[in-house]
Structure 1
């Protein structure tokens, strides 16, 4: 991996990306600590750090209510953080460069390639341009839809502000909302459970933000090219399966529980939103603490899988999950090659998927064990919190506002690792390796 020179410091692209998130979080923490950012005139350092990390890592977990405890200035700080964090600061920096009509250097192209999870720099600037255009159009459309609906309940100016804030938040899978100011602290979107405009707009924004910009670009090119890449096929097909299966299981498990008082339309909207939002959406119209434990565990599994690579979401990623399932299927059928859509998957990708999953599991297990010590809560609530932070989902069973200082620090680390990715952080921190000059003899070991 090529090193980049920054003021005499040689940094790899993963190190630059990780450092960029640290800088954004630090700046956000400083701004949120200012008296003008909070209604009471002061936020503790750890709470400001938590909120800045949650926004930059587009998680949505909040130790203070955004709608009631932050001023408009504080809310805008969060908005800027999750816009930069969702699209990526490299993408936003590229936007500034393009607006100023400056030349994009080779160093910047390498960073763009890494930030978008691309294997080649070919066409990377064009891809970034498309990402910016698609994001702007999608978020603007979402803002118009939300603002039109909110005008029924609030003044024009406030409805426009709420529309913009929630469209950017939900598209970037940040999950922050301002309705605590209207419906009570930490109320979320529960009052809109039967509202088709809010539900369908939210579902579309979460889905588009979660499939990744590479897939969006590929889909928009489909009428011209008449084909999709393997990556897009895997992401779209696996997403569809997870949504349908997740919705079916949620409907069955919650039919006589949280879904019981809802109308037929409300049941269907709540079912599909709850199946889509664990992909890192962070918004919910059904109170999670009231769900059955089996449903809560289902959401834990969906949050752990997460969204697609190159998207605004977290988790181990849909493609990782798909490759693992394909590998297991191939082994059970006695096949040597792992084939998806008539394409053989390279062994390197399988090793990467296994490594990513095991590292993520180890991280979540360790964090859950530590949180079980620091927090006085049921184990499932602690596990839910850990997975939500790692998967940058932002859903909670109500534990977040009650976290101890130690618990907040643990969740901050989880959110950061979940957004940057365990493998990216591992590459960023590993020392420079040397090429092996020899190989050991092959050994035999019994498995299973």
Structure 2
């Protein structure tokens, strides 16, 4: 029976990814349950440990306990390891060790890597893995140095380095875990331009995806970007700017958030909140004090999320771009969806629509379950469900008060959000057979 289950999981790359992430999450939960993982030496309940492990592995950042005070140093390093594996991808890490040991990467492993990195072919995957590891470690190292230098002004040097390393890895991987204490995130640095800029740059670069990073760092070799990179850069910049402007306008007179702040501080807070919705998970203000219109707008930004092949979740910026392109093409009476003077195949448009509808359905299902199990306002429940699915990690305060059923629902949403709804469908669904016929064409009225 066990062997049959293993063969079934290893029969396709999506199933292998499903099994791999599940194994890492449960292994992480067992480590977090150890008394050595908590600061007070107590054993965490299995559901709470599973929740924390899933949040770290799926680089979400929703927490039941304050990370800085509840967990010990050992617990912090377990969470950090889970974040690193979950952010870069366990197959990428496994390939790294294989390359270090000079072991040949098999065709099956390349296919799993292709699924993990969301690539269209297996060509150049090993080179891409080397780039992923190099860029991730290099950016995390730079971030750690910058954070450590700033933290050294507020704490002893050893503690500053420790905090710098933890926050750099967490924020670059868009995980949202922090050691600030008392669930305060980066609120004490809301007016600190240096901390805001470093954090935003790490979130943005982590959310771009490693394909885009490779294009950016190698621009001198080819002096042009791929269509994918152009779309990611364009949509990401547009969403960040539009998001900052709308948050600024909605919260300008809100005394509970930024209404009493200086004009420059209002812009800084608005820009940071817009960036962190890309899947960052850290915040410099209490989002529960925002107006409902702002909170709903943030839900939309979280649902769109980061970019393919990145450490973030959501339907992805490219999917959003294809949907907007399809709508504009229909309005203009054109058959083709064109982005940056390049025509997209119908398959890409169908996939974008499918992903979006899947994601809407999953968020709706999770929201309905949470609305049944939790005693909270609907907007707060929708916010939490979208944040979990988009692996964002922003919260309006519901996470700490979840019931057991609510925790399991959020775990489910975080897992699907990180793995991807289509990957989960391909993993659990039957193997598609060859279509031997086509049905006659029919017509229905739309709109």
TM range (shorter): over 0.9
1:156-305 equivalences under 5 Å are: 156-180=157-181, 185-257=182-254, 258-305=257-304
Structure 1 contact 374–406 (Cα < 8 Å) conserved = yes
Equivalent residue, structure 1, for 2:20: 20
Give per-residue Cα distances to partners, 1:394-414, cap 9 Å, x unaligned.
Answer: 000000000011100000000
Alpha-carbon offset, residue 270 of structure 1: 1.1
Alpha-carbon offset, residue 6 of structure 1: 6.9
State the distance in 2 between where 1:115 and 1:84 align: 12
Structure 1 contact 194–263 (Cα < 8 Å) conserved = no
How many residue pairs align between the two structures? 440
Structure 2 contact 58–418 (Cα < 8 Å) conserved = yes
Give per-residue Cα distances to partners, 1:170-226, cap 9 Å, x unaligned.
Answer: 00000000111xxxx211111110011211110000000001000010111211101
Equivalent residue, structure 1, for 2:329: 330
> Once superposed, what is the RMSD of the aligned Cα atoms?
1.2
Q: Residue 139 in 1 paired to residue 137 in 2?
A: no
Secondary structure at the counterpart of residue 277 of structure 2:
helix
Alpha-carbon offset, residue 114 of structure 1: 1.4
State the distance in 1 between where 2:403 and 2:389 align: 18
Q: 254-263 or 233-242, which moves further after superposition?
A: 254-263
Equivalent residue, structure 2, for 1:390: 389
State the distance in 1 between where 2:441 and 2:7 align: 45
TM-score by length of 1: 0.96
Alpha-carbon offset, residue 8 of structure 1: 8.6
Alpha-carbon offset, residue 263 of structure 1: 3.0
Equivalent residue, structure 1, for 2:38: 38
Structure 1 contact 326–340 (Cα < 8 Å) conserved = yes
Equivalent residue, structure 2, for 1:401: 400
Alpha-carbon offset, residue 99 of structure 1: 1.9
Secondary structure at the counterpart of residue 260 of structure 2:
coil
Structure 1 contact 280–307 (Cα < 8 Å) conserved = yes
Alpha-carbon offset, residue 268 of structure 1: 2.3
Structure 1 contact 145–197 (Cα < 8 Å) conserved = no
TM-score by length of 2: 0.97
Consecutive unaligned residues in structure 2, runs of 5 or more: none
Alpha-carbon offset, residue 266 of structure 1: 2.2
State the distance in 2 between where 1:247 and 1:379 align: 25
Secondary structure at the counterpart of residue 279 of structure 1:
coil
State the distance in 2 between where 1:83 and 1:328 align: 38
Alpha-carbon offset, residue 9 of structure 1: 6.3
Structure 2 vs 1, CA of residues 10 and 48 (structure 1 numbering), >3 Å: closer, same or farther? closer
Structure 2 contact 305–315 (Cα < 8 Å) conserved = yes
